[in-house]
Amino acid sequence: MSIRILVASLIGLLALIAIPASLLAAGDEAEKKTDPVSGMVIDEHWDLVRANCIVCHSTKGFTQIRLDRKNWEKIIRLMQEKNGLWPLGEMEPKILDYLEKNYGLTEEHHNPKIRRPLLD
């Protein structure tokens, strides 16, 4: 078997493996629908986040960062202490659930200071 045939076979095999993997990865992102006005992921409790968070500021502040639940809670406390955010009561765990699920740290976002690309 010549080197050319061997190389071509390996490239073909790698392509067969890579294409389905890339389609699966793209499918996960494609399933997340976003609100065209706010840019937020439409998911359970997104309406609570929209109602409580974008009253005072743009969603770009939290849609471009990744934090764990503990740090999202710290951000809420800071906004309550410094910026007059009202007590969220029983909405707070739901808001934290949404933020953690959709804007939390993932395997690819180990550093909370890594920002997502700017929205168009």
Residues 50 and 99 grouped into a single domain: yes
Co-location of 24 and 73 in the same domain: no
Range of the domain at 98: 34-120
Number of independent structural domains in the chain: 2
Whole-structure pTM value: 0.65
Looking at the structure, do residues 62 and 92 belong to the same domain, yes or no? yes
Tokens, residue 20: 């389905």
Tokens of 27: 């499918």
23 and 44 inside one domain: no
At 13 the pLDDT is 44
Position with higher pLDDT, 39 vs 90: 90
**104 neighbors 67 (Cβ within 8 angstroms):** yes
Determine phi and psi for 66, rounding to 5 degrees.
-125, 120
Using the predicted structure, report yes or no on whether residue 97 has a pLDDT greater than 70. Answer: yes
Return the half-sphere exposure (C-beta side, CA atoms, 13 A cut-off) of residue 116: 19
Residues 61 and 99 in one domain: yes
Beta-carbon contacts of 89 under 8 Å, excluding residues fewer than 6 positions away, are: none
Please indicate, yes or no, whether residues 27 and 75 belong to a single structural domain of this protein.
no
